[in-house]
Structure 1
Amino acid sequence: MRDVNIDWANLGFSYIRTDLRFRSHWKDGAWDAGQLTEDNVLHIAEGSTALHYGQQCFEGLKAYRAQDGSINLFRPDQNAARMQMSCERLLMPAPSTEMFIEACRQVVKANEHFLPPFGTGGSLYLRPFVIGVGDNIGVRTAPEFIFSVFCTPVGPYFKGGLAPHNFIVSEFDRAAPNGTGAAKVGGNYAASLLPGAQAKEAQAQGRQFADAIYLDPATHTKIEEVGAANLFVITKDGRTFVTPKSPSILPSITKYSLLHIAEHRLGLNVEEGDVYINQLDRYSEAGACGTAAVITPIGGIQHGDHFHVFHSETEAGPVTRRLYDELTGIQFGTVEAPEGWIVKV
């Protein structure tokens, strides 16, 4: 066990090597039992399908230090289910829900000393992934696979806590209409690197932007995703929570958790529907949501020559703040969680 000397108050969202990670191999039709290893380097065949044909998928979830000292995993069964869907889309064997959660438990327990203390706002980010490996050259599913889970302590994805960020609409598409947009596969993220970099380099009327906004690939009239996160908006009357619905959107566990919280905790109407880029004046608040970002309020969106401001460019709106407080309270154990949402490590 290495000594941990981390400035928890200034922890960013970057890789920090931890002590142990879980690794299991699939061969001859079955996963082996898997084990923890100190080795953070993968040794794979040069013909591995993950390298040549993008046959790989991944997940992201967090472990939280609760106020009573216990450790919370937030909805890991939902991450397991999404990984299973991604594996099915890419013709890969998927770990069972039980195997997935147990691997996450083992990794968190083995690296507990890297878990940021309660009250710092930090968490232990877990990255499970499945990749196709083994000797191969043709375009086909791999003969072998690796399932692994590693972790790293993280702070906020965007600096500034619950501070609004501005975004700019990209001319690129995140995914094809009937492609892999709903699967959490690396190719979707590789395709986002260029538009994301362009968004961060862009300036309009003295404003800078945190990331790109992607419109629907079929008509380019509706917002689908915000960089690597899902979108939500609040109607002008403050009564309805709306989030885009499309077969090319990644089904965010954070988004569906917020849908539940908005309806059952805040008493809002909820909708999964279209959010048209030319009708943003229907909404008083907007946010990007995901495991890494949790909630990032959207100050405004640049579309062509027009910049639309929601609640404010400097502070989060009241509904967004209530959603954030409720969600993070559940994750850190200060607010009672819906049944089945928290798994203790």
Structure 2
Amino acid sequence: MGNESINWDTLGFDYIKTDKRYLAHWRNGEWEKGALTDDNQLHISEGSTALHYGQQCFEGLKAYRCKDGSINLFRPDQNALRMQRSCDRLLMPGVSIEQFIEACKEVVKANERFIPPYGTGGALYLRPFVIGVGDNIGVRTAPEFIFSVFCIPVGAYFKGGMKPHKFLISTYDRAAPQGTGAAKVGGNYAASLLPGKKAKEKGFADCIYLDPLTHTKIEEVGSANFFAITKDDKFVTPKSPSVLPGITRLSLIELAKSRLGLEVVEGDVYIDKLGDFKEAGACGTAAVITPIGGIEYQDKLNVFYSETEVGPVTQRLYNELTGIQKGDVEAPEGWIVKV
């Protein structure tokens, strides 16, 4: 059954109510068997820790329609593992990899009519999350939890092709040195709203955060990971305990090595060494790669490959990864789970 009401060409990244979502409760020390529901409203206690103390985490991944009509999930095991780490950090019960992947598969199958057709550049975006619920008021871990997965169809991130964006180095911190930066928790995103708004008001796509301890090293780009290509063809990306370990970042590291033959360096990316890079980008689930045309730091714009053209290495990485996701390029073992 198709979905004639959706214009796949104009689809953006907006909430759309789909047919079914998955819901499971944790009570009496274990996760109950989850089920699909039509209801997109959560009914939770006013004392829920998710509302008062930010005890919640989430994930983002996509399902893709392939040329042969089959459906690909891209590395869902990595999202499951990261969500377990986020849960550990906030004293929430983890969800097993099996339950996580099964929930994602069920949601994709139940909402298959919302998957954008092959060739449109769109995908079905999945949003798994865990929240602390139940009657409570003290600062402690919740008596009960909810694990849910819902989905929305999303369009091609760049209408009319990938293009570079400019970013501003922020004076704000995204996370504390020993804080929750490596966990995918809502508080990190709430903290980024104001700096992001200020950067956009100045005409930038978003801001880039420096390391919270010394403010000398690049850590993250808005809600994405940073990478750069050096003039001698090394793939460089920040390594820090307060950076979210992105699945797209992890995949680009592996592809840069195995498919493009680049040396990969995970380490310190000093802000005063921007001149060493010929290309730069932000990577994440939504856009896959956002090429960085320039970075403004202390009122000076540092331009990489070009403010208007995508660099050749960035383009090759993008083509390789998106080709794997939609089934047109052979995937490394274990990267694709068929629904």
Separation (CA, whole Å) in 1 of partners of 2:157 and 2:58: 18
- 1:82 and 2:94 are equivalent in the alignment: no
Show the counterpart of 1:222.
Answer: 217
**Contact 1:234/1:284, CA 8 A, preserved across alignment:** yes
Structure 2 unaligned runs (5+)? Answer: none
Show the counterpart of 1:209.
Answer: 204
Report how far residue 161 of structure 1 moved.
3.4
Show the counterpart of 2:140.
Answer: 140
Show the counterpart of 1:254.
Answer: 248
Alignment of 1:176-187 (within 5 A): 176-187=176-187
Report how far residue 28 of structure 1 moved.
0.2
Query: SS of the counterpart of 2:9?
Result: helix
**Contact 2:2/2:113, CA 8 A, preserved across alignment:** no
Separation (CA, whole Å) in 2 of partners of 1:303 and 1:159: 28
2:148 maps to amino acid: S
Show the counterpart of 2:93.
Answer: 93
Alignment of 1:50-61 (within 5 A): 50-61=50-61
1:81 maps to amino acid: L
Separation (CA, whole Å) in 2 of partners of 1:303 and 1:6: 42
Report how far residue 2 of structure 1 moved.
9.6
- 1:324 and 2:318 are equivalent in the alignment: yes
Show the counterpart of 2:338.
Answer: 344
TM-score, length basis structure 1: 0.97
**Contact 2:3/2:114, CA 8 A, preserved across alignment:** no
Show the counterpart of 1:274.
Answer: 268
Separation (CA, whole Å) in 2 of partners of 1:123 and 1:196: 26
Report how far residue 162 of structure 1 moved.
1.3
**Contact 1:234/1:286, CA 8 A, preserved across alignment:** yes
Show the counterpart of 2:230.
Answer: 235
**Contact 1:114/1:153, CA 8 A, preserved across alignment:** yes
**Contact 2:48/2:136, CA 8 A, preserved across alignment:** yes
Q: Report the count of equivalent residues.
A: 339
Report how far residue 4 of structure 1 moved.
4.4
Separation (CA, whole Å) in 2 of partners of 1:113 and 1:334: 22
**Contact 1:4/1:113, CA 8 A, preserved across alignment:** no
Deviation >2 Å, runs of 4+: 1-4, 156-161
Show the counterpart of 2:301.
Answer: 307
Report how far residue 157 of structure 1 moved.
4.0
Query: SS of the counterpart of 1:163?
Result: coil
TM-score, length basis structure 2: 0.98
Structure 1 unaligned runs (5+)? Answer: 203-207
